[in-house]
Structures are given as structure tokens and as C-alpha cells.
Chains A and B, each alone.
Chain A
Amino acid sequence: MSTVAASGSIRRRLTLQLAAIAVLLSVAFFLIVRGVAEQAAGQTQDQILAASATSIADALRSEKGQVQLELPYSALSMLGSVSEDRVFYRVAIAGRTLTGYDDLPLPALPEATGEPVFATFDYRGEPVRSVTLSRNVSIGERPVEAVISVAQTRLFLGAIRARTSTIAAAVGLAFFAVAVSLSLWAAHSALRPLERLALSVTRRGPKDLRPLRAETPAELVPLVAALNNFMERLRASLARSEDFIAEAAHRVRTPLATLRTQAEIAYRRVERPENRAALKEMILAIDESSRSAGQLLDHAMVTFRTDHLETEQLDLGELACDTRNRLEPTAELKDIGLELELPDAPALFEGDPILLENALRNIVDNAIKYSPPDSLVRIALHICGGDYVIGVCDEGRGFGTGDLRRMTRRFSRGTNVEDIVGSGLGLTIADEVARAHGGRLELARNKGGKGACVSLVLPRP
């Protein structure tokens, strides 16, 4: 499996972006809620201040040429009903304080609008909100302007701000938490089709190049289309190269077959020993080249398949039996007996039947090849601890004196086999197949010194 370097994660990016949006929205929510609450509180205070000032203005009357004021109880008590803020007031007639706090500043009033004027300033060490309005009072025939100002500290506003800030922050945080978990979920569910797609591609066998038919969201359609297109091209390309290899093999092997057949015919017909020897050499050369080509192809196929095992449940006994049947005619030619020894119960194994058959055939084929006529090749399947052992023993010349481990290497042959046609790939193939199935190939000299034993060891499930 090749590894692909990931440049960032869509899930993380998506989650982060959604979370960032959630943060922005939470902060905006917090500010808006606090702003609205403060504004509402400020408006409430302004309205109460205005009502208070108006009730004072309404209580103004002139008596005996003087402006009189009976400060209404409600004018101040209403200010105390909402909060415990400090309250100040001042009533001035023509610039002279009639009653109240002499030093309470009176903002300049616009000419004769009668509208209250609101102001915020510091008074007696605390910020206050004040409302000022004017009212004309008649003294005799002469109207005088009375200015009424009521001020209140803003403790209430601060309390409201603190409370709404707390609530808004709590709600904002809750919103943020919900939004983040939702965005995690959203990222997850948005990416699920992608994961499903990846899974369906991963699960496929090495030869499954059918187009993907899974339900695909619109955004993934181009990807799936591209993937399908790619697989179609790959399939076509593979089919082409398979066809090409088959065709090439066919084209090469057919004339070789012709050549060999003609050579055999000629061999039958010529009498002179030197001609016969030449023809025999020719036939051997043809055999060697075709065998090499065949094993190279086999090896390539085995290498490819060991990367992507197509496993199925199989009986190793049946496999050994098939192999024996297949090779029996070859053995018979040399009057070599193929003995098969199987356990009573089926030896069930999860593996790639084509590869295992190929491996075993190579081993048995080897054994036959190196056996003398009228000898015996034994194929025995045993259960040995946690392993299946398929042993193939012959009565041939054995492995000679070379390193046994070296025998399974590619193109490596025994030290004593110069006269026998072989490419040296047989045991290599068997070894690779064994390894691909978690097993191994064991080579041993036959007990008693004569012949060789090759064992295919596979772990039992």
C-alpha cells in the first residue's frame, strides 16, 4: 500500500471554519443582546425620569405672585421603585433655584420646544442621567419659564448590564457549544459519503474495476465520474495488456511449438547420430526457453497476486490431490510413482487457490524432475502443531552441498543440476506464495541422505 501525504483535513478545516463562524455569531449575539438590553434599560430610565420631571412640572402653580411647588411624592418615589439609584432634582425659575439641589447642572434648553432634554454627566462623584424640561408658569399676567431637571445615578444600568452580560455570555457560550458540536456533526455527516466512497473502493478486489454505483451526493459526482472514468481506462488498459501478453505468448509459443514438433519429426527421421544429437540439442533449447518464459510469466503473476490475495476457503487435501492428478502423467513417463498421504478430515485453509496450486505444482514438478526413473515421490499432508505441512519428498539427488536457504532465491539453482532443464524459479515462486499466506517453505535433505524434502508450511486458522 502506498501512502499518500495528507495536506490538511477537510473535516478539521470544515469544523474550524464552522466553529469560527459560531464564535463570530456568539460574539455578535452577545454584543447585540447586551446592546439591546442596555438600550432598553436606558430608555426605561429616560422614560421614568421624563415622567418624574413632568409630574413635577405639573405640580407647579403660582400663588400670590409667586411660583409654588408641592413636590409630588410619586415624582421621586417612582424613581426609587425600579432601582436603588440616587436621585437629584432641581427646579429653577428664571435662573434662580426654587427648590432642590442648587448645584445640579441645567443643560441649555432649545427654544420653546417643550421637549425634554437628556444628558449624562458626573454629579457628586457618580455618573448620572438627567432629564431637563421647561414649563411656562404665569405669575399674574407675566409668564415665567420654570426649568425642571431630574437626575438619577446609573447603578441600575450597570446592574442590568452585568446581568444581561452574564445571561448573554451564558447563552452565547451555550450557542457556541451547540454550534460547535453541530458543526462537528455536520462535518462528519458531510464527509460520510466520501468515507463511504473510499471504503467501497478499498473493499474492492484487485480485479474489480466495475464503475462505482453507490449513491453519490452531487458534489462528489465529478470525483466519482473521474474515478469511474479512470477505472474504465485502467480496465481497458489492463485488458489490453493482458490481451497483449496472451497474444504475445501465443504468437511466440505457437511457432516454437511448430519448431519443436518439426524437430521431433526430423529427429525421428534422421539416422546419423551427429544429426540426432544436434536436433536433440535444439529441442532442449526450445524446452528451456519456453519453460523459462512460462515461469517468468508465472512469477510475475504470483508477485502481482500476492499483493492482492483473492482468498477463499479451500481444502488443502483436495488441492494436493488435484496437483497429484495433474502431474501424474508427467511422472508416469519416467515410471515415477506419486504417492499421496492425506489426513481423514479436510484440511480447511483460507487462501488463494490459484497461488497455492501453483506453488505445490512447482514443488512436485521439481521433485519429479530431479527424481530417477522407477522411484517414488511422496506428497504428504500433516497437521503439525499450529501448522499444515505439505511435504514433498523424492529419492533424487538431493540439494547437493549448497546453502539450502539460497535455493529459494530467484534464479538460484542447486549446485548439481546442470543437466536438467529448469529456470530456478520454481522454489522461489513456492516460497513467495507461502510467505504471502503467512507460512514458509522448508527445505531438508531426505532422511537417510538420499533425495530432498520440500515442505510448504501454512498456519492453521
Chain B
Amino acid sequence: MRYLLVEDNERLARAIVTRLTLDGHAIDHAPDLETARDCIAGTSYDLILLDIMLPDGDGRGFLEEQRRKEGTTPVIVLTARSEVSDRVGMLDLGADDYITKPFDFSELEARCRAVLRRQGGAARNEKSYRGVVLDSLAGTLTIGRRRERLRNRELRLCEVFFAAPGRIFSKPHLMDRLFSFSEEVSENAIEVYVGRLRKKLEGSGVRIETVRGLGYRLVGEK
């Protein structure tokens, strides 16, 4: 996915860019509205993350401007204000969603997915491995003619494996992707979700292999 981050705080911006890259996203950073406009003019983005307090103007103005130009790129506002006072204004001005700083990246990811899904998949995000197609937005696995619905955590797990088939992912790594920090879960919880996924992949020619002592990997059947 291709993000545009409009954020004037250099440190935060760097951190967000690094963090989203870790999950395999492409991300451009604009420190002000001027640069943001240039970026939008030159590239097509799946999503814009917009800070509303910027050195050369209020993010609200930018939002209005985008909506006037009938730009369809969804916008998630990053706000540092109280939810009560800003919420209505933001949504009225055309933001698709908002998230308050500091935020949990899994929540950000969930909101992005929700926003994109709501928008109707202008940019379909599909990955395939050996004839098995994973549609992140729709949350489905297509195996030949069969279509399997994935629950959220199954989907996220799937995404991890489909991003790098053959690569071994350790249990802690998978847990990081699946559970929020506030959830107190044991490593065994992963086995539950892996088990579910295996069931859904049965007969597809693709399976999740346990690599003893190291973790799991997605492999094709010989």
C-alpha cells in the first residue's frame, strides 16, 4: 500500500515511516501542505495520513480543498486534540476517519483497512501464491473456485505469510502482528489461529509448515 504522511514533526514522521515500512508499506512524507499538494499531484496514493496542525495552515483547510477537488483518496486525520471537540468538525469536513496521537499501529492499520473497504476497493490489494489469492480488503482467500472468508486475525496472519512465502516467522513475531500490547496472551494462542488457517487452506496446494523451534512458514505442496 502506498501512503502519504503529512506531518510537520520530523521525528514523529521518521518514526511512523520506519514503522509502516516494517509492515511492508510504501510511504511518502510531506512536512507541510505545500509539499503534500505536490506529492498528490505527482503520485496516486491509497491513503493519506493527515496531521491537522501544520506550519503553513490548518489541516481542515487542506481537507476541504481535497474534497472540493473531488479527490477520492481516503484521509485519516491524526489529531492531538480532545476527541469531543474535534470529531464532528473533522468528519463534517470530509475526513474518512481519525485517530488520536499516540496511536497503536495495529489500530491504525485496522482503520486504514476499514476506510479502504468502505471506499469499495478502488485499489484492490491482492496477493497470490501458487494459485491461492488473498484479498486483504475483502478478507477472502480464493482457492480455485472456493472462496474462504477470513476473520480479522486470520487475515492478518495470512497477510504476514503471503508477504513472504517460504520465510520462517517466529512465534513472537506473529504475536506482535496479531495481538495488541494490552492483551496478555500466551504463545500458544498463535497455534489456535495457525490451526484455523490450515483448515481453510486444506486442498489448496498451499500449507503452513511448522519449523520446529523456529516458527512457521508458508510453503507449496510438492
A258 contacts B80, C-beta separation under 8 Å: no
A294 contacts B22, C-beta separation under 8 Å: no
- Distance, CA A284 to CA B181, complexed state (A): 7
A257-B102 contact given A265-B22, A287-B182, A421-B182, CB 8 Å threshold: yes
A250 contacts B80, C-beta separation under 8 Å: yes
Q: A246-B53, A265-B22 are in contact. List 4 more A-B contacts (CB 8 A).
A: A276-B172, A329-B110, A374-B151, A419-B184
Neighbour of B9 across the interface among A254, A260, A332, CB < 8 A: A254
- Distance, CA A354 to CA B88, complexed state (A): 7
A253 contacts B181, C-beta separation under 8 Å: no
A333 contacts B152, C-beta separation under 8 Å: yes
B82 contacts A258, C-beta separation under 8 Å: no
B105 contacts A264, C-beta separation under 8 Å: yes
Residues on B with beta carbons closer than 8 Å to the beta carbon of A333 = 106-107, 110, 152, 180
A335-B84 contact given A257-B12, A264-B19, CB 8 Å threshold: no
Residues of B bordering A, CB below 8 Å: 9, 11-12, 15-16, 18-19, 22, 53, 78, 80-85, 87-88, 97, 100-107, 110-111, 113-114, 151-153, 172-173, 176, 180-184
- Distance, CA A52 to CA B12, complexed state (A): 123
Nearest chain B CB to A306 CB, angstrom units:
12
Chain A 312-330 against B: per-residue CB contact (8 Å), 1 yes, 0 no? 0000000000000010111
B11 contacts A329, C-beta separation under 8 Å: no
B81 contacts A257, C-beta separation under 8 Å: no
A261 contacts B16, C-beta separation under 8 Å: yes
Of all chain B residues, the one with the shortest Cβ separation from A419 is B184
For this complex, 29 residue pairs linking A to B, each with C-beta atoms less than 8 Å apart, are A246-B53, A249-B80, A249-B81, A249-B82, A253-B80, A255-B12, A256-B101, A257-B78, A264-B105, A265-B18, A265-B19, A268-B176, A283-B181, A286-B102, A287-B102, A287-B181, A294-B82, A294-B83, A297-B84, A298-B83, A301-B84, A305-B84, A329-B97, A329-B107, A332-B152, A333-B180, A335-B153, A353-B88, A419-B184
Residues on B with beta carbons closer than 8 Å to the beta carbon of A253 = 80, 100-102
B84 contacts A257, C-beta separation under 8 Å: no
A48 interface residue, CB < 8 Å from B?
no
- Distance, CA A254 to CA B114, complexed state (A): 24
B22 contacts A254, C-beta separation under 8 Å: no
User: What total count of A-B pairs have CB within 8 Å?
Assistant: 124
Residues on B with beta carbons closer than 8 Å to the beta carbon of A251 = 80
Residues on A with beta carbons closer than 8 Å to the beta carbon of B180 = 333-334
Of all chain B residues, the one with the shortest Cβ separation from A358 is B84
A435 interface residue, CB < 8 Å from B?
no
Nearest chain B CB to A252 CB, angstrom units:
8
A357 interface residue, CB < 8 Å from B?
yes
Neighbour of A265 across the interface among B15, B152, B181, CB < 8 A: B15
A112 interface residue, CB < 8 Å from B?
no
A397 interface residue, CB < 8 Å from B?
no
Query: Top 10 A-B pairs ranked by shortest CB distance?
Result: A261-B15, A257-B102, A329-B110, A257-B101, A253-B80, A250-B80, A260-B102, A297-B82, A258-B12, A253-B101
Residues on A with beta carbons closer than 8 Å to the beta carbon of B80 = 246, 249-254, 257
